[in-house]
A and B are shown apart, each in its own frame.
Chain A
Amino acid sequence: MIVENLRSIGHRIVEAVWRIGFASRFFFMILLYSGTSFRRFHLTVKELFYSGVMSLIIIMVASMFVGMVLGLQGYETLKRYGSESALGSLVALSLVRELGPVLAALLFASRAGSAMTAEIGLMKATEQISAMEMMAINPLARLIAPRFWAGVISMPLLSALFSATGVFGGYVVGVVLIGVDYGSFWSQMQASVDFQHDIMNGMIKSFVFGIAVTAIALFEGYDAPPTAEGVSHATTRTVVQSSLTILFLDFILTAFMFQGE
C-alpha cells in the first residue's frame, strides 16, 4: 500500500519534470523554426486575424467597463480626501501599469489561447499533424510558429487598446457623468504618467504575457492526448495555467520595474 503510494508520487514527479523538459524543447523548437512565419508572412497574418482581430470586441467592451468602474470607485474614495481632480491619474496609472496588460492577457488567454489549444489538439487527434509530417511539412514551422508570433504581436496591441479604451471609460464616468473638472482630469493624468516608466513598462509586460500565454496554449494543444477528453482537459489546463502564469509573472515584473524610486 505504502509502496504503491510512493510509486505513484514518484511517477507524478518524474512525469512533471519530463513535461517541463519537453515544453522547454518545444519552445526552443518554435523559435528555431520561426523563419517560415516571417518569410511566408501571410500564415502569421491569418493567425493574427483569428487571435488578434477576433479578440478586439471582448477587449474593447471589457476595458470600457473596467475604466468605468475605476472611475466610479476612484471618485468615491478620492472624494473623501477632496482630491477628485486626481481621478485622471488614478484611472490612467492603474490601467497603464497593471490592469491593461494583465486583464488583456487574461481575456486573451481565455478567448484566443483556449481556441489555439483546441485547434491544435483536434488536429493532432484527427491525425492532421501526422499527415503533414508524412508530406515532409514541418508542423512546427507551418502550424505552431505562425500562431506563436501572431499571439506575441497582438498581445501588446491589445493591451494598448485596453488601456486607451479604459481611460476613455474612466473619462466618460468621471468627467461626463459625475462632473469632475475636464482640465484637471487630463492635466493631472499627463503630469503623473511617464512614457518610459509607465507606458513602456506596461508594453514590456504585455509582450512577456503574450509569449507566456501563446507558448502554454500551443504546448498544451500539441501535447494533448489525442482523444476528445484529452483535448477538453488540455483546453481547461491552458486557461488555468496561463492565468496563473500571467499573475505570477506580473508580480515578478512589477517587483523589478516599480521597486520604489
Chain B
Amino acid sequence: MKRATLDLWVGIFVVAGLTALTVLALKVGNLNLYNMSETYQLQAHFSNIGGLKSKASIKSAGVVVGRVDKITLDPERYEARVTMTIDKHFQFPKDTFANILTSGLLGEQYIGLIPGGDEELLKAGDEIKKTQSAVVLEDLISKFLYSKAEETQ
C-alpha cells in the first residue's frame, strides 16, 4: 500500500472539518476548557426568579464562579429553590448576599453573589439566607404608575 495524492486531499478535508468543529466549539460556542472539576453546591430560596434558567451563570464581582444547577419550587414555602454549583476555588462567607440580576436591559439573567463580612465560610450544601428576587419589569412599571397617580392627586 502506497501513499497517494488522494490521501493528502482526504487528509486536508478531514483536518479542515475537525478544525471547523473546534472553531465552532471554542470561538462560537461557550465550551470553556476551564472545567470546574472541583465543585460544591449551595442552595438559595427566591420568592421570584423571573427568567432565570438552569445553567445560568453565577457571578461575583462580575466574574463567573459557577452555574445554576437546577430550579425547583419548594412545596412548603412556595418559593423557588435554586441549587448552585460553585467552583471550589471560591469560598464565600456565611452572610453572602445572592440576588438575581440582568445583564443589560433585555439580556439574560444571572445570580450575583455579594460576599459579606462573616468570618465563617459557607460549606457544601449550605443555604444562602439573604436573597433578593428578580426585578420583574411589570411590577416596576405598575409601581411607577401608582406613584405617579398619587402625585397628581
Give A contacts to B, CB under 8 Å. 42, 45-46, 48-49, 52-53, 56, 83, 92, 96, 154, 156-158, 160-161, 163-165, 167, 186, 189-191, 193-195, 198-199, 203, 261
Point out the residues of chain B lying under 8 angstroms from A261, CB to CB. Answer: 53
Q: Closest CB of chain B to A157's CB: distance in Å? A: 3
Known A45-B6, A48-B10, A53-B12; judge A161-B17 contact (CB<8 A). Answer: yes
Q: Are B13 and A157 in contact (CB under 8 A)?
A: yes
Complex Cα distance A154/B17, Å? 8
Mark contacts of B15-32 with chain A using CB atoms, 8 A cut-off: 1 yes-contact digit, 0 otherwise. 011111101110111110
Question: Which residue of the partner chain, among B10, B16, B30, contacts A49 with CB atoms under 8 Å?
Answer: B10
Q: Are B28 and A167 in contact (CB under 8 A)?
A: yes
Q: What are 22 A-to-B residue pairs whose CB atoms are below 8 Å?
A: A45-B7, A46-B6, A49-B9, A52-B10, A53-B13, A96-B28, A154-B13, A154-B17, A156-B21, A160-B24, A161-B16, A164-B19, A164-B21, A164-B24, A165-B20, A186-B27, A190-B29, A190-B30, A198-B29, A199-B21, A199-B29, A203-B21
Complex Cα distance A46/B20, Å? 22
Known A49-B9, A49-B10, A160-B21; judge A190-B16 contact (CB<8 A). Answer: no
Q: Size class of B's contact patch?
A: 20 to 34
Residue with the greatest number of chain A CB neighbours at <10 A, chosen from B9, B14, B20, B28: B28
Q: Closest CB of chain A to B15's CB: distance in Å? A: 10
Q: Are B106 and A49 in contact (CB under 8 A)?
A: no
Please report which residues of chain B, range 34-70, place their CB below 8 angstroms from some CB of chain A when the two chains form the complex.
53, 55
* Nearest-CB residue, chain A, relative to B25: A195
Point out the residues of chain A lying under 8 angstroms from B25, CB to CB. Answer: 195, 199
Complex Cα distance A198/B13, Å? 23
Q: Closest CB of chain B to A38's CB: distance in Å? A: 15
Q: Closest CB of chain B to A189's CB: distance in Å? A: 6
Complex Cα distance A198/B55, Å? 14
Q: Are B28 and A189 in contact (CB under 8 A)?
A: yes
Number of residue pairs across A and B with beta carbons under 8 Å? 84
**Besides A49-B13, A157-B16, A191-B30, 20 other CB < 8 A contacts?**
A46-B6, A49-B6, A49-B9, A52-B13, A53-B10, A53-B13, A154-B13, A154-B17, A157-B13, A160-B24, A161-B17, A164-B23, A164-B24, A164-B28, A165-B20, A167-B24, A190-B30, A191-B108, A195-B31, A261-B53
Complex Cα distance A261/B10, Å? 40
Q: Are A42 and B13 in contact (CB under 8 A)?
A: no
Q: Closest CB of chain A to B61's CB: distance in Å? A: 18
Complex Cα distance A193/B30, Å? 6
Complex Cα distance A158/B108, Å? 32
Known A45-B6, A45-B7; judge A156-B13 contact (CB<8 A). Answer: no
Point out the residues of chain A lying under 8 angstroms from B6, CB to CB. Answer: 45-46, 49
Q: Closest CB of chain A to B110's CB: distance in Å? A: 10
Q: Are A53 and B9 in contact (CB under 8 A)?
A: yes
By Cβ-Cβ distance, the 5 closest A-B pairs, closest first, are A157-B17, A195-B31, A164-B20, A160-B20, A160-B21
Q: Closest CB of chain B to A203's CB: distance in Å? A: 7
Q: Closest CB of chain A to B16's CB: distance in Å? A: 6
* Nearest-CB residue, chain A, relative to B104: A85
Point out the residues of chain B lying under 8 angstroms from A189, CB to CB. Answer: 28
Point out the residues of chain A lying under 8 angstroms from B28, CB to CB. Answer: 92, 96, 163-164, 167, 189-190, 193, 199
